[in-house]
Amino acid sequence: MLGPVSDPYDPDTQTPELIGYLPPAEAFVPVGGDEDPLVNPVVDGMAGWAHRVGGVLRRGWPVLLGLFALTQLLPSLVFKVLVVYGVTGVHGIGPLSRVADSSVLVTSMAQTSLVALVLLLAPRMLGYAAAAYAAVRQADAQPVTFGGALRYGLRRFVGLTVWHVAAVALVGIVFYVLLCCSVQAAQSWLGLLPAVLLAAYLCLCVAFLGPAYLFERAAPMTRSRTLTHARFWPTTGRLVPLGLVSLLGLVLDSLLARLAVMAQLTDVLPVAVLDVAVSLVAGLVLLPLSVVQFSGVLVAYAEARGHTGELVRTSLLAAELG
């Protein structure tokens, strides 16, 4: 006697010829929006990226602010004190002071650059690695402690520092060579434009250097350029506003120093004390902006990887951190 015959039009019924031949569920890309906390799908666009940046900030702002205060604000203040009191070789040189001998200035700035590498860049890379660890694990609903994030940063900051020194050297050398050639050829300051545009392009190409090193490790500079070019204009639209934070950091000290002079604070406080106070105020202003910048780059990196054909999820990023 024959058994019950299945309805071939029932969506829950698999015909014998299909059993064992269907692709896994993860092979089907969802058509609508995605709720992954870090990876922004195409359909969500700029709004989805901003929403996920906000999610990183909501989940981890206390830890991220603490990490950046310890590894960026505090080292910058220590460095400023050393500069003001001449420990680094730049004695009395700052936004509120003048130097008559240019050779002294060049020598002092070279010495200061070496000290800055140790006191500024290395701690900053430690904080960057620690912040990436904290943000991704929080997005993956894993426990995060301040000490655990710092321990991870200590394991990864040396390589991260080396790669960033290489990136800064590359951008700086290319900018300087093109600047000299362009200004000489144009016989005017319009020659600055090609050098500035190329430097901005190179900065975009290395914007994902940190995440590429932390998550993928192999050839991070090449990988950063590949991810930037995968969706160049959408990625540029996310990175350019974040880059303005870096530009603000370059000019904020001088701007606050000029305001202090205009307010005649130099008649009330010693120049050395005022220099340190200006750096403190600038650091406090830039601290939350740096956290936003970090979060934006992290989410933009996850989005760029998600559009290269990889099945990237927050759980995968957390596993790649090691």
What is the predicted pLDDT for the residue at 95? Answer: 45
What is the predicted pLDDT for the residue at 32? Answer: 43
- Asked if the structure places residue 14 within a domain, the reply is no
- Asked if the structure places residue 156 within a domain, the reply is yes
- Asked if the structure places residue 223 within a domain, the reply is no
Residue pLDDT tens, the chain, 322 long: 455 556 656 656 555 555 555 666 556 555 444 689 999 988 888 999 999 999 999 999 999 999 999 999 999 999 888 877 766 555 445 444 454 555 655 666 667 777 778 888 999 999 999 999 999 999 999 999 999 999 999 999 999 999 999 999 999 898 888 888 776 665 666 767 888 899 999 999 999 999 999 999 889 999 999 999 999 999 999 999 999 888 888 888 788 878 877 777 777 778 778 888 888 998 999 999 999 999 999 999 999 998 887 788 999 999 999 7
Q: How far apart are CA 123 and CA 49, in angstroms?
A: 28
Quote the Cα angle for 141-48-37, to 5°: 10
- Asked if the structure places residue 93 within a domain, the reply is yes
Which structure tokens are listed for 104?
């002294």
Q: Are 216 and 257 in contact (CB under 8 A)?
A: no
What is the predicted pLDDT for the residue at 96? Answer: 44
- Asked if the structure places residue 209 within a domain, the reply is no
What is the predicted pLDDT for the residue at 33? Answer: 46
Q: How far apart are CA 37 and CA 51, in angstroms?
A: 9
The terminus-to-terminus CA distance of the chain in angstroms comes to 60
Quote the Cα angle for 279-282-287, to 5°: 120
Q: Which structural domain range is residue 301 located in?
A: 38-165+242-321
Q: How far apart are CA 143 and CA 135, in angstroms?
A: 11
- Asked if the structure places residue 29 within a domain, the reply is no
Q: Computed from CA positions of residues 177, 180, 184, 190, in that sequence, does the dihedral angle turn out positive or negative?
A: positive
- Asked if the structure places residue 19 within a domain, the reply is no
- Asked if the structure places residue 171 within a domain, the reply is no
Q: How far apart are CA 104 and CA 127, in angstroms?
A: 33
Which structure tokens are listed for 3?
């058994």
Per the structure, the count of domains in the chain is 1
